[in-house]
Amino acid sequence: MKNTYPNTINSLKIKEQRQKTNLTTEFIAVQMGISLRDYIKIEEGTKDIKLSKFILLSQILGIKKSAFFI
């Protein structure tokens, strides 16, 4: 069983929070250790995200993991 969160995560929250913190897509992709293309797909809700990357993303953005599901 793969540890991923399906694209049921509110991808609008990801983009909204990234913009609030004035972080670029490039910066977050580098911090997560993924390609820019993959990060953009996560933000668009077209790519699943591994649990470890999901936790890292919430830390980078400074929000609780539960906030992605609201």
Helix 51-61 crosses helix 11-20 at what angle (to 10 degrees)? 30
Q: Are 9 and 54 in contact (CB under 8 A)?
A: yes
Give, for all 70 residues of the chain, the pLDDT tens digit: 455 544 456 777 888 889 999 999 999 999 999 999 999 999 888 888 888 998 999 999 988 877 776 5
Q: Are 48 and 4 in contact (CB under 8 A)?
A: yes
Q: Are 65 and 5 in contact (CB under 8 A)?
A: no
Task: Determine the residue type at 37.
Answer: R
What are the chain's domains?
Answer: 4-69 (1.10.260.40)
In this prediction the pTM is: 0.78
